[in-house]
Chains A and B, each alone.
Chain A
Amino acid sequence: MEFLGYERPDGSVGVRNKVLVMSSVFCTGPIPERVESLVKNVVGVRYHRCVADDVTIRQLEGVGKNPNVAGVLIVGFEAGGVDPHSLADRISQSGKMVECITVRGSGGTLKTLARATEIAHKLVIEASKIKAKLFDIDNLIIGVECGCSDSTSGIASNPAVGVAVDNLVKRGGTAIFGEPLECAACESVLAERAINVNIAQSIEATISAMIDVFNERTKKGAEHLANRRKSYTSTAMSPGNVNGGLTTIEEKSLGAIMKSGTMPIQGVLKTAEKTQGKGLYFMPNIGIIGTDTGDIYGFVAGGAQIVIFSTGRGPGFGNAISPIIKVTGNPDTYRKMKDNIDVNASTILEGKESIYEVGEKIFREIVEVASGKLTKSEALKFEEFYLMMDYNTLF
């Protein structure tokens, strides 16, 4: 099975053909966003801090190397943040078009804005010459996330997404999933799927470390709340979960894990780390702060060209680099949010389609979106991008 994609010099294949204008420190101000508003197909990403920690560097480099990006302009300041020139050097190892300017080096903000616009204008025209060609779907890397979950997630959208993930991985493709807290009480179930003992131990250690981080933080942040001092595992079940029909933490976690399918786990990735081979990977993003669905940004920086988002309540966000395919099993959510949800899995609950049939539908949607079909959020220009932060760099 094939999709229409854009070949990159490093052998990866993009499903979109964007130019990235990215700052390496917040001192540049909103130059990336300004250039985005002026030049077609540009994504402006502003690094909103001035530290140069490993997680930030991996994310900036990873986003630049994402196959959906044809060319990159780094805008630095000559003070603080990530060194713009070494960042540009690292991204240019991928062989794609990379340029780098600094605000002070360009002689001020207005001159930088003009130069950045000029360079971006040139890069998008160059990028537009890259013709889409047919590639095997084993070139696809998808990120898999769930959020705004409800009682339909574990029985409809997550299992159907899992079927689609299995389909892709069986055909030689790659998938990345995260959310270690949602694996609580089911560490061994995931560990049994590891391809070797080292990875199995790493999965179990990672999930328990994440629970430790959670427990530590809730103690620090809310000393007076006695119930917050309990372990995550014993407080993860909310009254709403129980009313919805979830009986134990094991059941809740297994329902979340369903979205990863059933294939063997090839490795545990650091935030924004690139996959080293094909197959299914776990990116737990321990100690990383982002949005509720921050994992998505780690997957995209790790090279995911498409993200599948399984949801109960159906949030409206999108992603500027890699299109997000949203799937809901809740019929009410689909009815209300179908202008921003791509696949209806509520047919499973209505008895109209089986979990496998919806899984096939999601898989076909992945291939179509890979070939250029716009997702609902892309058509709305709901295309955001954020960088996640390492918790340890905040203090």
Chain B
Amino acid sequence: MVSKKALKMDKNDNVATLTSDADAGNFIEAISKTGNVEIRVKARDQIPFGHKISLANIEKNGKIIKYGNVIGVSSKSIKKGEHVHVHNVKSLKVG
């Protein structure tokens, strides 16, 4: 089965951004800025291109890290492989 790819922008990130549409059950390879496969996760949801997948289990109110920085906190617990977006993340700056 062909793996789909996602970009992991920093080593501390717990999400990666899909470079193509993925279906639930697809294996996703998270690629670093240098092109290495850092982690491989199974998508639990359908996730469109440009959207994010969780690379770890994240507790409710856990930090969502992209680019090595906090982009928001989880509004509910998020499992590894889930779609990470406005339905389960809120901004810390605008509420």
Contact of A249 among B31, B67, B93 (CB under 8 A): B93
Residue on A nearest B64 in the bound complex, by CB: A247
Residue on B nearest A353 in the bound complex, by CB: B35
Given A245-B49, A251-B71, A254-B67, check contact A356 B17 (CB 8 Å): no
Give the distance in Å from the alpha carbon of A233 to the alpha carbon of B86 in the complex.
16
Give the distance in Å from the alpha carbon of A371 to the alpha carbon of B17 in the complex.
36
What's the minimum C-beta distance from B53 to chain A, rounded to whole angstroms?
A: 11
Q: Does residue A288 face the partner (Cβ distance < 8 Å to B)?
A: no
Residue on A nearest B51 in the bound complex, by CB: A245
Q: Are B50 and A155 closer than 8 Å at their CB atoms? A: yes
Q: Does residue A186 face the partner (Cβ distance < 8 Å to B)?
A: yes
Map CB proximity to B onto A218-255 as digits: 1 under 8 Å, 0 otherwise: 00000000000000011001000010110111110011
Given A251-B71, A254-B69, A351-B19, check contact A185 B50 (CB 8 Å): no
Residue on B nearest A258 in the bound complex, by CB: B67
Contact of B9 among A155, A249, A250 (CB under 8 A): A155
Interface size class of A (residues with CB under 8 A): 20 to 34
Q: Does residue A151 face the partner (Cβ distance < 8 Å to B)?
A: yes
Q: Are B50 and A189 closer than 8 Å at their CB atoms? A: no
Given A251-B66, A254-B66, check contact A159 B33 (CB 8 Å): yes
In the complex, which residues 40-59 of chain B have their Cβ closer than 8 Å to any Cβ of chain A? 48-52
Map CB proximity to B onto A334-357 as digits: 1 under 8 Å, 0 otherwise: 000000000000001111011111
Residue on A nearest B92 in the bound complex, by CB: A250
- Cβ contacts under 8 Å, B5 to chain A: 351
Q: Are B94 and A233 closer than 8 Å at their CB atoms? A: yes
Q: Are B52 and A245 closer than 8 Å at their CB atoms? A: yes
Q: Are A151 and B50 closer than 8 Å at their CB atoms? A: yes
Q: Are A250 and B50 closer than 8 Å at their CB atoms? A: no
- Cβ contacts under 8 Å, A156 to chain B: 7
Q: Does residue B90 face the partner (Cβ distance < 8 Å to A)?
A: yes
Q: Does residue A163 face the partner (Cβ distance < 8 Å to B)?
A: yes
Contact of B33 among A163, A242, A250, A254 (CB under 8 A): A163
Give the distance in Å from the alpha carbon of A357 to the alpha carbon of B34 in the complex.
7
- Cβ contacts under 8 Å, A355 to chain B: 7, 33-35
In the complex, which residues 70-122 of chain A have their Cβ closer than 8 Å to any Cβ of chain B? none
Q: Does residue B85 face the partner (Cβ distance < 8 Å to A)?
A: yes
A-to-B contact residues, CB < 8 Å: 151-152, 155-156, 159, 163, 184-186, 189, 233-234, 237, 242, 244-245, 247-251, 254-255, 258, 348-351, 353-357
- Can you name 13 extra interface pairs (CB under 8 A) apart from A155-B17, A159-B9, A234-B94? A155-B7, A155-B9, A155-B50, A244-B50, A245-B17, A247-B64, A247-B71, A248-B90, A248-B93, A248-B94, A250-B71, A254-B66, A355-B7
Q: Which 3 residue pairs are nearest across A and B when measured between Cβ atoms?
A: A354-B35, A245-B50, A151-B50
Interchain Cβ contacts under 8 Å between A and B, 20 examples: A155-B17, A155-B50, A156-B7, A184-B93, A185-B93, A185-B94, A242-B86, A245-B18, A247-B52, A247-B86, A248-B71, A248-B90, A249-B94, A250-B93, A258-B67, A349-B19, A349-B20, A350-B19, A351-B19, A355-B35
